Amino acid sequence: MAFEYIKALHIIFIVTWFAGLFYIVRLFIYQTEALEKPEEERKVLVPQFNLMAKRLWLGITWPSAILTLVFGIWVLTYRWGYMQLGFMQAKLAFVFLLYLYHIKCHYQYKELQKGIAKWTSNQLRIWNEAATLLLFAIVFLIVLKNTVDMIWALVGLIGLGILLMLGIKLYRRIREKNP
């Protein structure tokens, strides 16, 4: 019975972590665009977006990332045999990439809190989709648990990536026509 509670908590913190990751990059976009506004607007927007980013990043996203890891390891202690299976090794590789993504977001967070925007808002939109791709990869791997299905899922993941990039380009064109 304890296993189900631990697994449920792991899933809950995965959801809150991803919510934080998706929204923080959206805030990075807003922060970056606010830094380009006229002084009067910038004085209002930048502190507000900085506060929102700080509360989200430090109050939700980081704690969720840590608790996801804690409960994930705890779940694995009940299913240690899964560590020998290819799907679990692939899933954990994607989870590792997700933590690298998280750390890169932390560096972006720190720079934007100082008013330094090294990436354009369009680059950040593309960056935001990396978390989407990782989410799809992780969920398909943990649900399918089959090498053949994993290959099809990865082909689908590549297709999804292409669709996301096309969507970003289309959005950019629409936005440029209607500022």
Residue ranges for the known binding site for heme are 10, 91
Nearest to 145 by CA among 96, 99, 84: 84
Please give the annotated binding residues, written as ranges: 10, 91
Cβ density class 15-24: b for 16+ within 10 Å, e for less: ebbbebbebb
Is residue 133 within 8 A of residue 161, CB to CB? The reply is yes
Tell the residue number behind the tokens 């830094």, with chain if given: 35
Nearest 5°: the CA angle 38, 43, 46 is 100
Phi/psi for 36 (5° steps) reads -95, -5
